[in-house]
Amino acid sequence: MIGIIRKLLNMFTKLLGLPYIVIKKTIEVLYKAIKEIINILIKSINKVFYVIKDAVMWIINTIIKVISAILSTFNKVIFGIASAISKVIKAIWKYFVISIKYIPSILKGVGKWFIAAVKESIAQIFTLLGFFIAWLTLTGSAKDIVGIAILISTALWLLTIGLREDG
């Protein structure tokens, strides 16, 4: 009989403890589920942050590459311009030095031309005087146009002395 009483008491204890066991098992299952959900969320958030970090790093690397390319191109352009300027200055200096050698002969030629121009002007003094008198008799815009034409034709006439000389 004691065995039956024991069994009844054991059953009664289990019956009274049933809500506790159900709640305990429910809490354990909920705890495991929430823990798994939190782990999944943490992994997902980590993946999102890694994707965002990779995207930001890609953008930064792209910007750095673009800026490097721009600076490299700018550097090449500046050095190209400096090289070109250096070559131009060297060429100018070379021809300047060469032209200094010819200054005495150039001055001699200009002196000869000046003497010939003075002689030719003296020979044509009455023609020049006639041009000047004609210019004085004009008025308005005709005076301006004829004055410019006289100056241009006289300059051309003096510059072409060498073409008219015999020899």
Give the structural domain span for 144. 104-167
**Amino acid of residue 138:** L
* Total number of domains constituting the chain: 1
- For 43, residues 6+ apart whose C-beta sits below 8 A from its C-beta are none
Nearest to 146 by CA among 158, 157, 133: 133
26: in domain: no
63: in domain: no
143: in domain: yes
User: With contact defined as beta carbons under 8 Å apart, do 78 and 119 qualify?
Assistant: no
C-alpha gyration radius of the chain:
55
Q: What is the pLDDT of residue 166?
A: 67
Residue with tokens 């002395």: 161
Helix orientation angle between 125-137 and 140-159, rounded to the nearest 10 degrees: 160
* DSSP result, 77-131: HHHHHHHHHHHHHHHHHHHHHHHHHTHHHHHHHHHHHHHHHHHHHHHTHHHHHHH
Q: What is the pLDDT of residue 12?
A: 67
25: in domain: no
User: How would you write the pLDDT of the chain (167 residues) with one tens digit per residue?
Assistant: 777 877 776 776 666 666 666 677 888 888 899 999 999 999 999 999 999 999 999 999 999 999 999 999 999 999 999 999 999 999 999 988 888 888 888 889 889 989 988 988 898 899 889 999 999 999 999 999 999 999 999 999 888 888 877 65
Q: What is the pLDDT of residue 167?
A: 55
126: in domain: yes
Nearest to 166 by CA among 105, 107, 116: 116
Q: What is the pLDDT of residue 120?
A: 87
Q: What is the pLDDT of residue 23?
A: 73
